[in-house]
Amino acid sequence: MRDKKRIVIALGGNALQADPNDTTAKAQLKTAKETAKPIADLIEEGNEVIIVHGNGPQVGQIVAAYETAAATDKKNEMMPFPECGAMSQGYIGYHLQQSIREEMVKRGIKKEVATVVTQVVVDEKDPGFQNPTKPVGSFYSKEEAEKMEKEKGFVMKEDSGRGYRRMVASPEPLDVVEANLIKSLVDQNHVVIAGGGGGIPVVDKGNGVLEGVPAVVDKDFISAKMAELMDVDLLIILTAVEKVAIHFGKPNQKELTRLTKEEVYQYIEEGHFAPGSMLPKMKTALRFVESAPGRETLITSLEKAKEGIEGKTGTTIVST
């Protein structure tokens, strides 16, 4: 193992938008500047850092803006979903790289930071395409939804009593197209932001042709794939809590410090982790620790990342 660790950091939504009711660019940049500080702590310790982040609200805003423009003026076409994902990667990456660079300059850290607009290979026969589950974009009435299904071929489903939304698939990530480029940048001691929003899903059509598809790769799953491809020592999944807990929110809540993969499987089977929050993170931890001997996943809060690496807090998942 290296003297200092090579780390993939998976940023949760609270690292980009502290106030879910304020989704403006100004608010995101302000939050990014705070997020940059604990990341800079890890860089300052000499760790090699690759950052992956989500993009749910941001790509939703972009899709909705194009939907509104198309509805207002028929001359405006709706932007294809892969292109919306690319826009969100650039937008969020710009805020993160600016904020991290600013923090590194303050501390005299002589490194560069850059965003790589990342494509992720998926299988066009992935079962996820048969049952799209990820809602994106604006809300519509039943009549409008039926019209969009007929005219555009979209899959529209009712979303929590708020109206109908377009659904896209969530396929498994198979490979990262720019993996060699990202690894080269990290090898040269640069900080890299990549795989934003799960990356842009593409299918390999052969002869070097890649085709973007309307889908969302789970941000946590691409974090595990990125960590595997970058041969990192540690995957850090940053979330809203300092430690993973069982019996969460109940009088007998118990925080967990160190777990083997067997214990994680047991807790998953017992239903301790919520499907929309901690469950995908635990599954991501398992994917990474099972990908090669000696790999570990740390789950903790953004503010406690440095202490987590030092073994002072957080929940660490190991293979045995």
- Does the annotation mark 106 as catalytic? no
DSSP reduced 3-state for 246: strand
For strands 245-246 and 254-255, give the pairing. antiparallel
Find the catalytic residue in 5, 60, 199, 219: 219
Retrieve residue 155's tokens.
């899959």
Find the catalytic residue in 13, 111, 261, 283: 13
Strands of the 155-158 sheet, one edge to the other: 134-140, 164-168, 155-158
CA distance 242 to 238: 9
**C-alpha angle with apex 270: 134 to 266, nearest 5 degrees?**
100
- 109 and 44 Cβ atoms separated by less than 8 Å: yes
- 50 and 44 Cβ atoms separated by less than 8 Å: no
Longest Cα–Cα distance in the chain: 61
Is the dihedral angle over the CA atoms 100, 101, 103, 107 positive or is it negative?
positive
Find the catalytic residue in 14, 33, 111, 147: 14
- Does the annotation mark 281 as catalytic? yes
The torsion region of residue 158 among left (phi > 0), alpha (psi -120 to 50) and beta comes to: beta
CA distance 62 to 122: 23
- Does the annotation mark 283 as catalytic? no
- 45 and 306 Cβ atoms separated by less than 8 Å: yes
- Does the annotation mark 157 as catalytic? no
- Does the annotation mark 13 as catalytic? yes
Find the catalytic residue in 93, 128, 134, 197: 134
CA distance 193 to 92: 10
Residue reference for tokens 């501390």: 107
Q: What is the DSSP-derived secondary structure letter of residue 93?
A: H
Burial of 197 (0-12, 13-18, 19+ CB in 10 A): buried
Find the catalytic residue in 281, 304, 308, 314: 281
Helix axes 261-269, 278-289, angle to 10 degrees: 150
Residues designated as active site: 13-14, 134, 219, 281
